[in-house]
Amino acid sequence: MDEKKLAIIATKGSLDWAYPPFILASTAAALGYDTQIFFTFYGLELLKKKLNLQVTSLGNPAMPMPMPIPVILQTMPGMQAMMSSMMKKTMKKKGVASIDELRELCLEAEVKMVACQMTVDLFEFDTSDFIEGIEYGGAATFFEFAGESDVCLYI
Amino acid sequence: MDEKKLAIIATKGSLDWAYPPFILASTAAALGYDTQIFFTFYGLELLKKKLNLQVTSLGNPAMPMPMPIPVILQTMPGMQAMMSSMMKKTMKKKGVASIDELRELCLEAEVKMVACQMTVDLFEFDTSDFIEGIEYGGAATFFEFAGESDVCLYI
Amino acid sequence: MDEKKLAIIATKGSLDWAYPPFILASTAAALGYDTQIFFTFYGLELLKKKLNLQVTSLGNPAMPMPMPIPVILQTMPGMQAMMSSMMKKTMKKKGVASIDELRELCLEAEVKMVACQMTVDLFEFDTSDFIEGIEYGGAATFFEFAGESDVCLYI
């Protein structure tokens, strides 16, 4: 039987939504899947050498909080940094690998990472800010792989 | 021909995004699909016995509103509760089943529901808060089903 | 070999998330894919003749900004309109087609567009506000196509 294939389109760049692509990709790779992630739009943030990912409860009423905080207070200066710091601490305390570590794990497991060239141009990202070992391409290139995939996820 | 398979990863826990996994799963089950939903991250909220799902227009400029409300006012105390209450009333008036009902419908149609064990541990959810009839597992377990699915959706 | 099939469920109605369904669908169509988009929930905004799509950085800490703006200021009157206008200008300057143009491109490439009848009824949309050349249907109709698709994306 042929190797299974997992294709992921990673479009989000917040701290919380950085986990799913890397967790799913590393899990699939460990299961023997040939895995590719196409990073586009805000997802390109996940490819930066120096990650500075933030999370916010704004617009996400389902985010678990240690105590209820009025929405207006969630917009106050320092709140986003505090929530991001808390999420990182919780992940660490619970033994969940950091985004850096999960990303490294994916690269070691030969997950192919492709940065969307159009978005790089659009947001004027400096590719020297991105990690080594990635490729650059467009949606058409990605479809070559996705069209043959067993599972394709838009995250 | 084999039975078709639908795999869903439900990651959101707001009132609006609670509908798609249950509507799609119950529809597919009615069409004869073997269906599984893997609840992870904020999606675990959808498995609580006592649902307390909220919706907000913050961060979602496309949410239809009876009248335009300045963003700053949308952050005011009581606004989120009001929007959640309004959405529930509209759904009811229009004959759309509630999340409780849709979830029950899915269970009756033998949609398999799996709670992500890692997220349960991470957010320290009390599994006695969750409904009966669900299973617990990890991403690897889910791939066993997803890898054979005809349609796999990350919601 | 049979023609490849791409199925997209478009659920978001903001300016930024309007690009992915139309870019992916037009790319796939150009590659010879038989392509369908099912517009549901906020995604129905993308079918309006007169598009008025907005974007906001609220709830999306990963949105690139020309300079850091405190979250509380992002809630101020006029900010959303300014961010939407800026994104449109950037897209234009960089040679990315507008949503109108991308949508037209999809229609010319015979991408089939289906509006979710349930959502139309729910939000009391006036179908005369929608563009010509689309169809109306439910999730069950969509599964007929999605169940045979090679790639199915929930956006």
Over the stretch B62-90, which tens digit does the pLDDT of each residue have? 998 888 889 988 998 899 999 999 999 99
Phi, psi dihedral angles at A134 (to 5 degrees):
-110, 165
More confident residue, B79 or C48: C48
Mean pLDDT, chain C, integer: 95
For residue A67, is pLDDT > 90?
Answer: no
- pLDDT of B1 reads 54
- pLDDT of C38 reads 98
Dump pLDDT digits (tens) for A76-104.
Answer: 888 999 999 999 999 999 999 999 999 99
How many of the other CB atoms lie within 10 Å of CB of A72? 16
Mean pLDDT of C135-145: 96
Label each residue of chain A as H, E or C: CCCCEEEEEECCCCCHHHHHHHHHHHHHHHCCCEEEEEECHHHHHHHECCCCCCCCCCCCCCCCCCCCCCHHHHCCCCHHHHHHHHHHHHHHHCCCCCHHHHHHHHHHCCCEEEEEHHHHHHCCCCHHHECCCCEEECHHHHHHHHCCCCEEEEC
Q: How confident is the model at residue A118 (pLDDT cuts 50, 70, 90)?
A: very high
State the Cα–Cα distance between residues B10 and B155, nearest whole angstrom.
Answer: 5
Burial of residue B18 (number of CB atoms within 10 Å: 0-12, 13-18, 19+) = buried
Share of chain A above pLDDT 90, in %: 88
Estimate to the nearest angstrom the gap between the alpha carbon of A101 and the chain centroid. Answer: 12
State the Cα–Cα distance between residues A112 and C104, nearest whole angstrom.
Answer: 33
Please enumerate residues of C whose Cβ is less than 8 A from a Cβ of B. Answer: 7, 9, 11-15, 40-42, 45, 53-56, 58-60, 75-77, 79-80, 84, 118, 121-123, 138-140, 143, 146-149, 152, 154
Closest CA to A103 of A39, A47, A50, A45: A47
- pLDDT of A1 reads 54
| Contact residues, chain B, for C149 at CB < 8 Å | 151
Of B56, B140, B149, the CB nearest to A31: B140
State the Cα–Cα distance between residues A78 and A71, nearest whole angstrom.
Answer: 14
ipTM of this predicted complex?
0.94
Mean pLDDT, chain A, integer: 95
For residue A2, is pLDDT > 80?
Answer: no
Q: How many CB pairs under 8 A join A and B?
A: 83
| Lowest mean pLDDT segment, chosen from A29-33, A133-137, B76-80, C143-147 | B76-80
Residue of B nearest to C52 (CA): B62
Contact yes or no for A79/A73 (Cβ under 8 A): yes
Instruction: Say yes or no for a CB contact (<8 Å) between C33 and A138.
Output: no
- pLDDT of C121 reads 94
Domains and CATH numbers, chain A: 5-154 (3.40.1260.10)
Question: If you compute the radius of gyration of chain A from its CA atoms, what whole number of angstroms results?
Answer: 17
Residue of C nearest to B19 (CA): C41
| Contact residues, chain C, for A139 at CB < 8 Å | 23-24, 27
Length of chain C, please?
A: 155
Q: How confident is the model at residue C64 (pLDDT cuts 50, 70, 90)?
A: confident
Instruction: Say yes or no for a CB contact (<8 Å) between A150 and B147.
Output: yes
Looking at CA atoms only, how far is residue C1 from chain B in angstroms? 18
pTM, whole model, 2 decimals? 0.96
Looking at CA atoms only, how far is residue B95 from chain A in angstroms? 25
Q: How confident is the model at residue A148 (pLDDT cuts 50, 70, 90)?
A: very high
Mutation choice for B interface testing from C56, C126, C129 by most B CBs within 10 A: C56
For residue C99, is pLDDT > 90?
Answer: yes
